[in-house]
């Protein structure tokens, strides 16, 4: 036997080289992505390193002579019955029970894994089958020289044929699984590029276990359909027409709460709703002046509240209004004092809709961390702002799946009220699918 490494651009090129140099009997032991060239690893080209196992013609006169009377060491000796037994379903079921302690996964737990897979059910089976195949190669050769060559009995020949069938099955499985995992890695890389979270990607790839993933996976309609279904199921839409009574806007600093509130007010005004505005954002004079300007343009009343008592009095005076929009100061989710103060105001309001705003250009992990710190305020709706400042939907869908919050709308500019959209599930899902499969 001989092992050789090939460095190629694509798996197709690797398969062609393998067939040309080693014939149809060779099979792939390992594949990994590598970089060549560049300066200190920067700017290099991407290649695939393929490890190939094939048979080698060894001159019989160079082989070490084995004494018939000298048995092999017991820890390296396997009978045919042992080898066949290790390839039975019972063996794999036992192996699976022993390894179920670890949760199977296609992905590394660390995003910076450089493309290496953690072991899941399929890759663990490949590893096991490689070990078995290696044992079979060595032990079958020893068995042949010690027994079959000297005593070519009918039962020995049958056992030899059975062993060869097992070797052929393991070889075909290895080739199929290695190619499948390579293309799964391509899908994983694409989803990372579009800002999907590790958990989201892992969940989706686990849904492809039963498929043969091809090199041109973007043209596989079943993969596209399953991805679209996953996106659709992670998305819940809140109908803007249902907004009524007390509506509070919360979120970290700089996400555009005041401008978004003005856009919401303008759209409600178009629906002939009776609206009032309240602001408790007295930290920034500019914010109060900005909201006052919007209120004057829209012809609606604005109430400025400095304390929870002021807020309670204002709310009691506005009971005959259809919608009361309440602006809050941006709060750092890391500042416990500020968050505690916001909780006091929220308890006074008891909002019907407590809308959380997040900037679309925030990475998914930070979105989740912010949400975890705001969750005790019990947000029950979501608006993504600054959609014009990002080029991907991955972080949006990953966060929606994580938080389970219904989406009210997205903003994609500063214009009031034009740059506020209330997207349908179909439109948002289709847009996200197109950017991955284009």
Q: Do residues 45 and 87 share a domain? A: no
Residue numbers of the domain that contains 18? 1-57
Q: Looking at the structure, do residues 193 and 296 belong to the same domain, yes or no?
A: no
The full 3-state SS of 218-239, as one line of letters, equals HHCHHHHHHHHHHHHHHCCECC
Q: Tens digits of per-residue pLDDT, 165-186?
A: 665 565 555 545 544 567 888 9
In a shared domain, residues 243 and 385 = yes
The answer as to whether 305 is a domain residue is yes
In a domain, 281, yes or no: yes
Based on the fold, state whether residues 85 and 48 are members of the same structural domain: no
Task: Return the pLDDT at 166.
Answer: 60
Both 98 and 21 in one domain: the answer is: no
Per-residue model confidence (pLDDT) at position 330: 67
86 and 17 part of one domain: no
- Asked if residue 68 is part of any domain, the answer here is no
pLDDT digits (tens, 9 = 90+) for 107-145: 444 444 444 444 455 566 566 666 666 665 555 556 555
User: Is pLDDT above 60 for 21?
Assistant: yes
Which residue is associated with the tokens 């949006």?
396
pLDDT at 314 over 90: yes
Do residue 53 and residue 107 come from a single domain? no
Whether pLDDT at 263 is above 80:
yes
Is 22 inside any structural domain? Answer: yes
Would residue 207 count as lying in a domain? yes
- 365/247 same-domain check: yes
pLDDT at 226: 95
Total-model pTM: 0.60
pLDDT greater at residue 421 or residue 59: 421
Whether 43 and 130 map to the same domain: the answer is no
Q: pLDDT digit string (tens) for 267-298?
A: 999 999 999 999 987 666 566 788 899 999 99
Does pLDDT of 257 surpass 70? yes
pLDDT tens digits for range 394-428? 999 999 999 999 999 999 988 888 899 999 999 99
For the chain, percent of residues with pLDDT exceeding 90: 44
**pLDDT above 70: percentage of residues in the chain:** 65
Rounded CA separation 35/28 (Å): 20
Q: Are residues 327 and 382 in the same domain?
A: yes
Residues 92, 53 within the same domain: no
Q: Is residue 62 part of a domain?
A: no
Q: What is the pLDDT of residues 326-354, one digit of tens each?
A: 999 866 555 566 677 888 999 999 999 99
Q: What is the CATH number of the domain that holds 396?
A: 3.40.50.300
The answer to whether residue 225 sits within a structural domain is no
* pLDDT per residue as tens digits for the range 82-96: 544 555 555 555 655
Q: Are residues 325 and 410 in the same domain?
A: yes
258 domain residue, yes or no: yes
Judge whether residue 194 has pLDDT over 90.
Answer: yes
Q: Domain count of the chain?
A: 3
């Amino acid at each position: 036997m001989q092992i050789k490494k090939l460095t190629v651009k694509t798996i197709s090129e690797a398969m062609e080289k393998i067939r040309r140099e080693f014939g149809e009997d060779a099979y792939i032991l390992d594949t990994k992505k590598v970089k060549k060239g560049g300066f200190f690893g920067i700017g290099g080209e991407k290649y695939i390193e393929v490890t190939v196992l094939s048979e080698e013609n060894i001159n019989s006169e160079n082989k070490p002579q084995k004494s018939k009377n000298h048995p092999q060491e017991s820890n390296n000796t396997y009978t045919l019955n042992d080898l066949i037994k290790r390839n039975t379903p019972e063996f794999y079921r036992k192996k699976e029970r022993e390894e179920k302690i670890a949760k199977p996964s296609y992905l590394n737990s660390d995003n910076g894994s450089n493309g290496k897979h953690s072991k899941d059910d399929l890759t663990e089976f490949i590893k096991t089958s490689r070990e078995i195949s290696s044992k079979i190669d060595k032990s079958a050769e020893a068995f042949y020289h010690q027994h079959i060559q000297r005593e070519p009995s009918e039962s020995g020949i049958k056992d030899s044929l059975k062993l060869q069938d097992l070797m052929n099955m393991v070889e075909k499985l290895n080739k199929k699984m290695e190619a499948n995992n390579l293309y799964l890695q391509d899908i994983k890389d694409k989803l990372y590029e579009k800002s999907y979270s590790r958990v989201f990607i892992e969940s989706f790839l686990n849904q492809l276990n039963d498929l043969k993933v091809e090199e041109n996976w973007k043209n596989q309609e079943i993969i596209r359909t399953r991805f679209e279904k996953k996106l659709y199921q992670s998305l819940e839409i809140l109908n803007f027409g249902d907004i009524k009574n007390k509506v509070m806007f919360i979120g970290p600093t700089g996400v555009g709460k005041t401008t978004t509130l003005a856009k919401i007010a303008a759209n409600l005004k178009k629906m002939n709703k009776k609206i009032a505005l309240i602001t408790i954002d007295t930290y920034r004079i500019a914010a109060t002046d900005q909201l006052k300007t919007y209120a004057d343009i829209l012809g609606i009343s604005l109430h400025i509240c400095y304390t929870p008592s002021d807020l309670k009095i204002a709310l009691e005076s506005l009971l005959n209004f259809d919608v009361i929009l309440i602006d809050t100061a941006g709060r750092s989710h890391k500042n416990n004092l500020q968050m505690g103060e916001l909780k006091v105001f929220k308890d006074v309001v008891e909002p019907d809709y407590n809308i959380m705003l997040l900037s679309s250009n925030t990475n998914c992990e930070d979105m989740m961390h912010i949400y975890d710190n705001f969750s005790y305020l019990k947000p029950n709706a979501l608006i993504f702002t600054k959609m014009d400042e990002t080029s991907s939907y991955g972080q949006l869908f990953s966060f929606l799946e994580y938080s389970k919050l219904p989406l009210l709308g997205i903003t994609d500019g500063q214009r009031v009220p034009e740059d506020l959209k209330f997207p349908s599930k179909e439109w948002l899902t289709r847009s996200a699918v197109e950017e991955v499969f284009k």
